[in-house]
Amino acid sequence: MKRDAYGLVTSSDSSDAQRAFESAVFGLAAHRPTTGSALQATIAADVHHVAGHALKGFANLILARSELATPAVDALNDARAALVARGGGTGDERLLVKALEAAAAGSFALSADLLEYGFEDRPTVFLPFKISQALRFMLGDAAGMLSASTRAVNSLDLADNSAGFILGCHAFSLEEHGRYEEALQAGQRAVSLQPDDSWGLHAVSHVFEMRGDTAEGIDWLEGSRKAWSRCNNFSFHMAWHLALLHLERGDHDRVLQIYDDEVRPQQTDDFRDMANAVSLLWRMQQSGIQVGDRWMDVAEIAHRRRADTTLIFAALHNLAAMVAVGDRNGMAELVSQIEAKALGLDDQARVAAEIGVPMARVLAGLDTPADQQAIDRMVANLPKIGGSNAQRDFFVLALARAVGHGGDNAAVSRIGQIRQRLKADDRLFQSIQSVKQSAGMSLSA
C-alpha cells in the first residue's frame, strides 16, 4: 500500500503509475489539458490501478453526455476487476468504487455522500474531496459544498500539496452563499499558496462580479491570465467571466472580441462551453449588441443534442440556443424530452420535474408563471439545475424578461428583489425592467 502525494492510499506497487496518477490528480485540480493523458499513462503503467479506473469513470460522468454513460460503466467494471486483482484493494479504493457505482446509477448526491462520509476522518484527502465538490456543484448543492469544504479547511495543514486547491474550493463555496468578504480572503490565500489554483482564481472573480466591482474583476482576471490561460477548456469559462465584466461596463467591442477569441475559439459541444456561449450571446443580444451569425454553430450543436437530458442544466442551454434561431421542431422535441425525463426516479429526473419542465416552457415561450408564488418557487428551485449563481443568473434574467413581456411589471420587480440578495443591480436587469411591454415576443427578440 502507498499513500500518494494527495493523501490517497492505493494498492499499486508501480512507481510509474503513482507518478502518473499524481500528475492526473494535479491536472484535475488545476484544470490542465494534460489530465487525460496522465490518466492513460497511469493505467498503462498499472492495468489494475483501481483509483485510475475510478477517476476515469467519474470523468466520463461529469462530462454529462448520454454517449459517455457506457464508457463510465466500462470504467466501473474495470475498477471492480482491479479490486479483485488486488485482493480487495485498500479501503480508500473500495470507497471510490462504491461512490462511482452510485454516480453511474444516476445518484450524484449519494455518491458525494459516500465520498464525504467515507473519508470523514480524513477530509483533506484531495481526490474524493474534489470529486464530491464537482458532483455537488452539478447538483447545485451549495450547502453540501460548504459543509465539506469547511470540514476540510478545519483539518488542513497548509504544507499539504492540496492546501491551496482545497482553500480555492472553500472560497467558491463561501461565494455561492453570498459570504463575499470571506470568499475573497480564502480565494486570495488559496492562490498565494497555489498559483495554479484556477478554481480559487475563479472564486475571486465571482466575488467581484456579484458585487458589481467590475474594474477590480477585470484587473484580477487580466493579472492572473498567465495561470488560467494554461487551463483546458476552463480557460473559456474564465474568459466568459471577463466578458461579463466588460459587458457591464458597456465595452461592447471588447465583449465581441473576447467571445470570438477566448470564449468560443473552438466550436466544441462540451456542455460547459455551450453554456458559456449561449448565455453570453443572449446577454449580448439583450444589451443591443449585433451578434451576427454567432448563434448558428451553437444552435446546430443544440439541435444535434435535442434528445439528451443527461443534465438538465445542459438541456436548458441547448433549448435557449434553438429558441434563439427559431428551431421550433428542435425546441418541441427537447421540451418533450425534458417532460419525459421528469417521470423518472434519478437525481436529474427530480431536477426536471421541479425546475426543468417549468423553465423549459418559459424559455420556449409556451408558458409563464401565473402568480407570485409560482415565480418564487421557480427562482427558489433554480439552484437544483446546478452550476453557479452567476451561471444560473441567465435563467433568472430570462424568466424576468418573459414575465415582463407578458405585462407583469410587479413580477419583474419581485424577481429583481430576489436577485439582489446575491447580485448587485446591473445594466442588463435595468434594461429588462425598462422594456416596454410587448406580449408574444420570442426569447431571442
| pLDDT digits (tens), the chain, 445 positions | 789 899 999 999 999 999 999 999 999 999 999 999 999 999 999 999 999 999 999 999 999 999 999 999 999 999 999 999 999 999 999 999 999 999 999 999 999 999 999 999 999 999 999 999 999 999 999 999 999 999 999 999 999 999 999 999 999 999 999 999 999 999 999 999 999 999 999 999 999 999 999 999 999 999 999 999 999 999 999 999 999 999 999 999 999 999 999 999 999 999 999 999 999 999 999 999 999 999 999 999 999 999 999 999 999 999 999 999 999 999 999 999 999 999 999 999 999 999 999 999 999 998 877 777 888 888 889 999 999 999 999 999 999 998 888 777 888 888 888 888 889 888 898 888 876 444 333 444 3
Distance separating alpha carbons of residues 46 and 17, to the nearest angstrom: 6
Give the predicted TM-score (pTM) of the model: 0.94
Grid look-up 447545485 returns: 140
- DSSP letter for 436, please: P
Q: In 396-406, which positions are buried (b, 16+ CB within 10 angstroms) versus exposed (e)? A: bbbbbbbbbbb
> Residue 444 carries which side chain, given as an amino acid letter?
S
Cβ–Cβ < 8 Å for 303, 278 = no
Cβ–Cβ < 8 Å for 58, 100 = yes
229-235 long-range CB contacts below 8 Å, 24 or more apart?
Answer: 230/32, 230/196, 231/30, 231/31, 231/32, 231/33, 231/198, 232/31, 232/32, 232/33, 232/35, 233/268, 233/270, 233/272, 233/273, 234/31, 234/198, 234/202, 234/272, 235/31, 235/262
Beta bridge partners of 2: 10
Beta bridge partners of 10: 2
Distance separating alpha carbons of residues 323 and 331, to the nearest angstrom: 7
Distance separating alpha carbons of residues 32 and 427, to the nearest angstrom: 34
Cβ–Cβ < 8 Å for 57, 127 = no
pLDDT of residue 91: 97
Q: In 131-167, which positions are buried (b, 16+ CB within 10 angstroms) versus exposed (e)? A: bbbbbbbbbbbbebbbebbebbbeebeeebbbbbbbb
Those residues whose C-beta lies under 8 Å from the C-beta of residue 40, and which sit 6 or more positions away, are none
DSSP-assigned letters across all residues of 254-265: HHHHHIIIIISS
Q: Give the distance, in angstroms, between the CA of residue 222 and the centroid of all CA atoms in the same chain.
A: 22
Residues 116, 118, 123, 129, CA torsion sign: negative
pLDDT of residue 409: 81
